[in-house]
Amino acid sequence: MAHIGPSGFSPYPVAVYEGVLTPPPGKALMFNEIVDEEIAMREAAKAMLTRQNPTIFPGPQVLYAWNEEAKEKAKLVRKMAEVLGAKIIPMYDYRPKYPKINPAIEINPNHPNLTIWHNKIKACIFVGVHCHYANVALKIIRAETDCFTIAMCSMAGHEDAMITLRDQHVEEMEKFIKIAEEVKKELGK
Amino acid sequence: MSYKIYKINEELKDFMPKEIIDLEEKATWGNPKRGVMDLPYTKELIEEHSLCAGCPESMALRYIIASLPNPEDTIIVNSTGCTSLVFPHIALHTVHSLFGNQNAVASGIKRVLEWRFPDKVKDVVVLAGDGATVDIGLDCTLQSFFRQEKITTICFDNEVYANTGGQESGLTVKGHVFKMAPKGKQWDKVPMWQLAIDSGCHYVARLTVSSPKRVEQVIKKAIYVAREVGPTYVHLYTPCILEIGLNSDDGLDEMRARDKERFAFFEYMTPQAEEVINRIKEEGLL
Amino acid sequence: MQATETILYNRAGQRVVSPDYLLFEAPRTKHFMTGSEAVKEAVKRASVDASVSYPITPQSEAAHLIGELWVEGYVGVYFRGESEFGVMSEIAGCAMAGARCITTTSGPGTLRAMENFPMWAGTRIPVQLVLMARGINSPLSIQPDNLEVSFLLDTGCMIWYAETAQDLFDMILAGFVVAEQPDVHVPLITVVDGFFVSHTREAVMLPPDDIALPPYNPYRAPMPVIDAEVPPGRFLRDPFVMKSNYISYATHASWQWEVRAAIERSRPYAKHYLRGLVEHFGDPEADLVFVACGTASAQAKEAVRLLEDEGIPARVVKLKTIRPFPIEELREAVKGAKYIFVPEFNVVGWLEREVRRYLYGHSNAEIIGAPRVAGGMTMPAEVIVKEVLKLTGKEVKHVI
Ligand SMILES: Cc1ncc(C[n+]2csc(CCOP(=O)(O)OP(=O)(O)O)c2C)c(N)n1
Ligand code: SF4
Ligand SMILES: [Mg+2]
């Protein structure tokens, strides 16, 4: 993503209008820079390990046991949370929820800022959220909060996140966990 | 069946709210004998919704969803209107597209699911208001019948455009004063159930939702016949208590009163439909 | 979600090849055919799952031919809908259920279907609509005229414009590939001028017909496909989103931005598969530039040849995409231009408006929205030349 701030007359900024697109295969996006995946992973781990109330937001694609990859990824999400000392707050579906969400325990793409405000989350990871909903939510978060957003996407990534990792499958998630362990050690945590 | 999409990964179960865990553990999946009698004991597939308190549409929706024989493989297509406020809270794959195009969208979905999953039963059910079904969407509704699409169409007839604040619809009774009919409606209520018969539906029923068990029977018949034979149509009276000035506990009485007149129970079936219905009865599914 | 598995044959029994192979590497042979027939040849090689049709001139023949492909087993689902409104909703249903879809329409059909197009974009379906442009009522005309495109510019659909049957063939195949990218995944409207392309025979280079694009994988879509096979089980596509529905205004705003962002994300893919968003023709040094799309660019190329005979250097910048608009490419291309002519097949000059909008503050050239023909008129190259000569004051004999 590029700068925080409004795009045109809408309060919801869109990185692509600042010339920032999803990263090409094999690369990652850090703010408005295309970088090697490993560099982005290190920075992502550092953000999660050093900012307040780091939280992982797992989406339906990893929450439910709908295929083998999802089952594997769920284990890795849990492990990742342990390594990063992060909370897990699920985005278990995308519905406008009635009468309201409970921001302490859930996050909803239609007003993700509520959960971030309530829990004072300063760094977060989106994983397993369908791309459209991740994008809708990330734009709102970017406009409404000072949370450092990290997208761990199994597809092409999300340019409105501050760090976006693309094509993240089991192997890549394992790599991230390993890097996070290293960074943690380096930080003396 | 696709129950797997409700199954939560063990490692992440601790973080899920109870309503979602209940959906996995306490809802009725994989049981075609499920029905309205399960309502008090099992997890419903509808969470809280925002219709007016006591709205009969909400009762109808609960009975219908509880009666689906194959919820884990049922797609529901909806239209704009009061009902669409309930749809986000239904724990199935559902579509709200435009106002009036529901039978067209459903036709596309049904045909593609048959092509993609030739060995699986995927039921497609349309559920929309009277304005959506009979006025703005009449063309799409009838054409899907003409084409013999294997879908079930359910119309929630509250005899008014409720969601936009109470305007006359084609299903308003003659003489009734609503907005846009300030002198009273000038023409008769459209006999949609008859149009459905003439347009090729194989099973047609007209009823109020005063009796949950009867709703269950009708919905099951309609879905089984649509699955095997062709289009089916269910016309339900779900009065808009708000627009006709009733209290939230008056809906049932209003429906019971109409049970004796313009919504007296009526059922039609073709011989092919009857065959299917008799067979599923024998199989104990009705 | 799933790592991609390799599929060797599609359901029609054609060997699956990579898009790059199909578009750029496979040997091609020359065939003589109409634009409508080129649509058939593209669909035949595109592993298409579903198509819904409705008659309207000049697109009917293309729709008939897709029907033939269905009979032959190349297309999974095919039927005639009740109206263009119905058709575009039916095809939306097909796409939401996980199908690769194509449909066709023209003029009044486009306008009848209108409410569907922003819905397609909002629900993120990569349906491809081949639009064979014709006049819109009133008065009724079946003749070529592309006014209808101006109504589509802000629907949230991508819009590409083919000049020839060859372009159309290649664009349809490239179109599926680009539109189905998970970070794009919005509809594509592939426009050609009715009759001029749909009904005119020309040489088209085709790869063999026993190879085809990889089938569509709906599980890579940015939204859950409606098939009850993908979580969340509780999923409404697409809900009411207003504040009164206990969410925030932000949802609709962000969603709308996201659709536009998706179009922007198509740029690198389109650049690759279309070999650039613009095409250059003529003298690269010329300060007289025609900016055009479709048949108008074909005619502008002819005009460049005539002008060359008169000793006036000129060139054409053909726009292959209108949404996304090739902003940078155009700005770059008109550096040094003194005169920019925008020839068009409609009375309002929607392309001129677009060109002015994106060149504002980026070019000192005089922009001239001419010539403009409509209602079925042709645009002889001589008419274009005449406009140029009017400006330069040069008298030339052979011009009408
Ligand atoms: C094309 C279009 N026209 C009009 C509307 C406005 N509209 C929204 S809901 C509605 C009334 C729905 O009436 P009905 O189908 O009877 O359902 P109810 O609300 O009564 O349950 C109308 C007219 C719309 N959303 N779209
Ligand atoms: S307005 Fe009428 S139909 Fe709508 S929720 Fe209220 S009572 Fe029900
Ligand atoms: Mg109504």
B242-260, pLDDT tens digit by residue? 999 999 999 999 999 999 9
**Residue C341 falls inside a structural domain:** yes
Q: What is the DSSP string of B255-272?
A: HHHHHTTTT--EEEE-HH
CA distance B61 to C306: 71
Give the Cα-Cα-Cα angle A31, A35, A41 (nearest 5 degrees): 80
**Residue A91 falls inside a structural domain:** yes
Tokens of C114: 């209108």
B204: helix, strand or coil: strand
Percentage above 70 pLDDT, chain B = 99
Domain identity same for C203 and C302: no
Tokens of C31: 């065939």
Domain identity same for C46 and C153: yes
**Residue C321 falls inside a structural domain:** yes
pLDDT value for A13: 75
Amino acid of residue C144 = P
**Residue B199 reports pLDDT greater than 50:** yes
CA distance C351 to C369: 9
Q: Mean of the pLDDT values across residues B102-110?
A: 98
pLDDT value for B254: 98
Q: What is the CATH number of the domain that holds C366?
A: 3.40.50.920
Q: Mean of the pLDDT values across residues C178-195?
A: 98
CA distance C96 to C229: 13
pLDDT value for C4: 52
CA distances from C308 to A125, B128, C286, C305, C323 (A): 60, 64, 10, 5, 32
- Average pLDDT over all residues of chain C: 95
CA distances from B27 to B39, B43, C84, C191 (A): 10, 4, 41, 49
Q: Mean of the pLDDT values across residues B147-158?
A: 98
Range of the domain at C363: 280-392
| Atom in ligand 1 nearest the alpha carbon of residue B135 | 15
Residues B203-217 pLDDT 10s: 999 999 999 999 999
The number of domains in chain C is 2
Cβ separation C97–B108 shorter than 8 A = yes
Cβ separation B93–C233 shorter than 8 A = yes
Q: Mean of the pLDDT values across residues C67-87?
A: 98
Residues A134-146 pLDDT 10s: 999 999 999 889 9
Q: What is the DSSP string of A96-125?
A: --SS---TTT---TTSHHHHHHHTT--EEE
Q: How far does the CA of residue C354 sit from the closest CA of chain B (Å)?
A: 30
**Residue C180 reports pLDDT greater than 50:** yes
Q: Mean of the pLDDT values across residues C52-62?
A: 98
Radius of gyration of chain C (CA): 21
Q: Running DSSP on this structure, what letter comes out for residue C367?
A: E
CA distance A73 to C84: 44
- Average pLDDT over all residues of chain B: 97
Split at pLDDT 50, 70, 90, the class of C7 is: confident
**Best of C1, C2, C11, C82 to mutate (most B CBs within 10 Å, chain B):** C82
CB atoms within 10 A of CB C15: 12
**Residue A9 reports pLDDT greater than 90:** no
**Residue C270 reports pLDDT greater than 90:** yes
pLDDT value for C395: 63
pLDDT value for B50: 87
Q: Which of A181, A157, A162, A183 is nearest to A79 (CA)?
A: A181
- The residue out of C207, C224, C248 marking a domain boundary is C207
- The residue out of C160, C185, C207 marking a domain boundary is C207
Q: What is the CATH number of the domain that holds A105?
A: 3.40.50
**Residue A97 reports pLDDT greater than 50:** yes
pLDDT value for C3: 46
Q: What is the CATH number of the domain that holds B98?
A: 3.40.50.970
Domain identity same for C193 and C312: no
pLDDT value for C195: 97
With a Cβ cut-off of 6 Å, ligand 2 is lined by: B 51-52, 55, 57, 82, 158, 162, 240-243
Range of the domain at B43: 3-282
The number of domains in chain B is 1
Residues A34-86 pLDDT 10s: 999 999 999 999 999 999 999 999 999 999 999 999 999 999 999 999 999 99
With a threshold of 0.90, does the pTM exceed it? yes
Domain identity same for C308 and C166: no
What is the distance between the terminal CA atoms of chain C, rounded to a whole angstrom? 62
Q: Mean of the pLDDT values across residues C138-166?
A: 97
Range of the domain at A140: 26-186
- Identify whether the C-beta of residue C290 lies closer than 8 Å to the C-beta of residue C298: no
pLDDT value for C238: 86
- The residue out of C207, C226, C246 marking a domain boundary is C207
Domain identity same for C288 and C174: no
Cβ separation B12–A74 shorter than 8 A = yes
**Residue B2 reports pLDDT greater than 70:** no
Question: Nearest by CB to A58, which of B4, B12, B88?
Answer: B12
Split at pLDDT 50, 70, 90, the class of C398 is: low
Cβ separation B105–C228 shorter than 8 A = no
Q: Which of A87, A52, A43 is nearest to A186 (CA)?
A: A43
Q: Which residue has the higher pLDDT, B47 or B108?
A: B108
CA distance B243 to B245: 5
Q: What is the CATH number of the domain that holds C82?
A: 3.40.50.970
pLDDT value for C1: 38
- Identify whether the C-beta of residue C396 lies closer than 8 Å to the C-beta of residue C314: no
Split at pLDDT 50, 70, 90, the class of A1 is: low
Question: Nearest by CB to C97, which of B88, B90, B113?
Answer: B113
Q: For ligand 3, a single-atom ion, which residues have Cβ within 5 Å? A: B 129-130, 158, 162
pLDDT value for C104: 98
| Atom in ligand 1 nearest the alpha carbon of residue B240 | 20
Q: Mean of the pLDDT values across residues C353-369?
A: 97
Q: Mean of the pLDDT values across residues A160-188?
A: 97
- B156-180 in b/e burial notation, b at 16+ Cβ within 10 A? bbbbbbbbeebbbbbbbeeeeebee
**Best of A73, A79, A93, A95 to mutate (most B CBs within 10 Å, chain B):** A95
**Residue A74 falls inside a structural domain:** yes
pLDDT value for C2: 44
